[in-house]
Structure 1
Amino acid sequence: MAEQQEQTASDAVLTRIGQVVMLHHGGDREEARRRLLDLWTEIGAHGDPLHRCTLAHYLADTQDEPDDELAWDLRALTAAEELTEERFTGRRDDAEGEGAVAVRALYPSLHLNLAADYVKLGRSDAARSHVRRARGAAGVLGDDTYGDGVRAAISRMELRLGEEDDTDEGNWAPPRQRP
């Protein structure tokens, strides 16, 4: 019963994050940032890693300065690294099941965001490193709208950075075009 109450409270935090994200997408960036920071204060720097990952991921999008955006995206990645499949399934024996896939599915987007941050900061080598990590992690993404969108965004970033790969090793990059 206590686990069920904890899960319900956890879902409530994710719902609240989602509501603030809708506010941000509606155009109220300042208010969204304020509310997300309030949630960050509420859950704390040592709170549930999924909450911290999600909050930091969205807080990055509300920042005005590239350095601040990078700092939040790095917090999101750090929190993701603390996640376990048990967080998603409630079972410890799910090493290669749904929970493990859910944890790994966060990485392509997180690394892609870091690549974009480093581009904004003029740090091409760091951007290339993260876009490679995003591509390497993309195999776990589903064949759905989200997965297709993340893979397409990775490809666009690869093109921007000159990282496209025209080898035939299963990489999902568009063919090179001649000018």
Structure 2
Amino acid sequence: MNDQPTPDPTMTRIGEAVQLGRSGQKVRARNALTALWDEIGARGDAFHRCTLAHYLADLQDTTEAELRWDERALAAVSDLTDERAQRYLSSLAAQAFLPSLHLNLADCHRRLGNAAQARKHLAGAREHLAHLPDDAYGEAIRTAVRDFAPDDPTDAGR
């Protein structure tokens, strides 16, 4: 079976902005993704909102701002269905987003000194590990969850 992404102009724009960030153009990437978020809106397509918020979190200058975007990503995934995710890529499952999203939130809370919240989100990540694919991505998230230290503010967590 061919599991290539279905053309989606919004995902193409997200991917282009992410590449800007990865090439060191963090401000341009953040501005592009923020403009796209403004176009889509807080009630737009859940797949787009989740993806946008997830990537926007990584482009923030403060942990507090990163946390707000990570929270938006988690909120968006609650509106995401497998059917919607699979319109983009047939192997995607909405529940498979949860380990990474919870791990990101755990990391933010750990860096902010909120160990109890970090542990809560780490437990959320662990709870959903079974939904991860059996591939390199799934193994990377499983390893990050296993190695995460919620009470160590010096641990990068990811």
Sort the TM-score into its range (normalised by shorter chain): 0.7 to 0.9
Deviation at 1:26, TM superposition (A): 1.0
Query: Which aligned pairs between 1:4-15 and structure 2 lie closer than 5 A?
Result: 11-15=8-12
Aligned match of 2:150:
161
Query: Which aligned pairs between 1:35-114 and structure 2 lie closer than 5 A?
Result: 35-89=32-86, 102-114=93-105
Q: Is the 8 A contact 2:95 2:131 kept in 1?
A: yes
Deviation at 1:60, TM superposition (A): 0.5
Q: Deviations over 1:33-62 (max 9, x none)?
A: 111101101111111011000000000001
Normalised by the size of structure 1, how large is the TM-score?
0.76
Structure 1 unmatched runs, 5+: 1-7, 91-97, 163-179
The amino acid of 1:77's aligned partner reads L
- What count of residue pairs does the alignment treat as equivalent? 146
SS at match of 2:128: helix
Q: What percentage of residue pairs aligned between the two structures are identical?
A: 47
Aligned match of 1:123:
114
The amino acid of 1:55's aligned partner reads L
What CA distance in whole angstroms lies between the structure 1 residues aligned with 2:127 and 2:71? 18
**Radius of gyration: which is bigger?**
1
- Please tell me whether residue 135 in structure 1 is matched to residue 135 in structure 2: no
Q: Deviations over 1:66-89 (max 9, x none)?
A: 111100000000000011123134
Normalised by the size of structure 2, how large is the TM-score?
0.85
Aligned match of 2:156:
none
Cα RMSD for the two superposed structures = 2.2
Deviates more, 1:109-118 or 1:41-50: 41-50
CA spacing shift, 1:161–1:16, aligned 2, 3 Å = same
